[in-house]
Amino acid sequence: MTDSCPWCSAPRDPGPTCPRCGAIYAKAEAIKSHGRAVAAVDETPLVMETVEEAGFVPTDEDGDEWRAVSDPAFELKCCIAAIPVMLLIAMLFHASGLGASLQRIFLTMPVHELGHAVTAWFCGFTAIPTLWKTLIPESRGFIAPLAMFAGLGFMIAHARAREQSALMYAGIGLVLLQLIGTFGIKHETMQVLIAFGGDGAGMIIATVLMASFFFGKRTQLYKGSVRWGLVAIGAASFVDIFATWVSARKDDQNVPYGTTGGMASDAMVLVDNHGWSMQLLIGRYFWLGVCCLIVLALVYAWGVWRAHAEVESREALQKKRDWEKRRQEGR
């Protein structure tokens, strides 16, 4: 008898079946040795059907990811409630005077300025975000583009090594986006994108922060509960930014057009310096926010489905183990 599963080479479990692939050790050894299995007990196919009826057979990547989750039923509840509850709390804060001010100062503004900075990085500028202003040089540099390219390259290599195709393709897409932003657009277009990127990229970043709740089960996102802080920041900043443009559709007097600390707002820069109309400005921010919500809804649906599938898979596996135990005791 080997120390690993004959079928998937996972470490051997004390029981009669492999917890990773569900193979029966004796049957798998017979197939590997003789090309066919010995006569099986009639009830075995019924048990295997029960596992398949769970509707999800985890891959090696999925199995490793979810091994860190000791209670999938509780994780399912968290996946269902986390984002809706955080968005509701954010809306309640936004509806109050003091709460809205604190929300904007401590949560929205860092995300807003990071939106300016990230947009500038993708356009080849070495930008430095601060709480109220993002420092952007007049011309492109080489530090930020090289650093971002190296970071994305590491992301792609890491994803490829772990056979995480979705993350790898996302990294490739971001590299292409960086190349277009750095070498493929005019200077004036870059200035427009950077100005728009405060609230625009800010909503995208907020969406990514909320969506991160469903990923990284083997990282500190899950183990260190970092994801709860990220989803709170993402929900608060998204609600604050998007609500501005929802209200602006009803009354364009709600557009943040003017100066702050002697500096023109993003809306003023886009309207006065780049010729955007007020309706064009409002529409682009609003529909970008709608697109972010659609993407978030799709990720949310996938995350809840994935957690539910894990619950069913483990329940089916537990039933199978219980049946095997009763069968062994009945002999």
CB 168 within 8 A of CB 160: yes
Note the pLDDT tens digit of each residue in 8-39.
Answer: 777 777 777 777 776 777 777 777 776 555 44
Q: Which residue type is seen at 331?
A: R
Confidence at residue 186, expressed as pLDDT on a 0 to 100 scale: 92
Confidence at residue 2, expressed as pLDDT on a 0 to 100 scale: 67
45 pLDDT above the threshold of 80: no
What HEC string does the chain produce? CCCECCCCCCECCCCCECCCCCCEHHHHHHHHHHCCCCCCCCCHHHHHHHHHCCCCCCCHHHHHHHHCCCCHHHHHHHHHHHHHHHHHHHHHHHHCHHHHHHHHHHHHHHHHHHHHHHHHHHCCCCCEECCCCEECCCCCCCHHHHHHHHHHHHHHHHHHHCCCHHHHHHHHHHHHHHHHHHHCCCHHHHHHHHHHCCHHHHHHHHHHHHHHHHCCCCCHHHHCCHHHHHHHHHHHHHHHHHHHHHHHHHCHHHCCCCEECCEECHHHHHHHHCCCCHHHHHHHHHHHHHHHHHHHHHHHHHHHHHHHHHHHHHHHHHHHHHHHHHHHHHC
What is the rounded average pLDDT of the residues 245-270? 93
Confidence at residue 35, expressed as pLDDT on a 0 to 100 scale: 58
Confidence at residue 330, expressed as pLDDT on a 0 to 100 scale: 67
Please give the mean pLDDT across all residues of the chain: 87
Residues 208 and 231: their CA atoms lie apart, in Å, by 9
Note the pLDDT tens digit of each residue in 106-157.
Answer: 999 999 999 999 999 999 999 999 988 999 998 888 888 899 999 999 999 9
Residue 8: phi and psi, rounded to 5, are -115, 0
Confidence at residue 34, expressed as pLDDT on a 0 to 100 scale: 64
Confidence at residue 54, expressed as pLDDT on a 0 to 100 scale: 43
Residue 135: phi and psi, rounded to 5, are -80, 115
Residues 290 and 282: their CA atoms lie apart, in Å, by 12
pLDDT band at 274 (very low <50, low <70, confident <90, very high): very high
173 pLDDT above the threshold of 90: yes
Predicted TM-score of the model (pTM): 0.79
Residues 127 and 120: their CA atoms lie apart, in Å, by 6
Closest to 100 measured CA to CA, from 230, 307, 239: 239
- Which percentage of the chain shows pLDDT scores above 90? 61
Note the pLDDT tens digit of each residue in 194-210.
Answer: 999 999 999 999 999 99
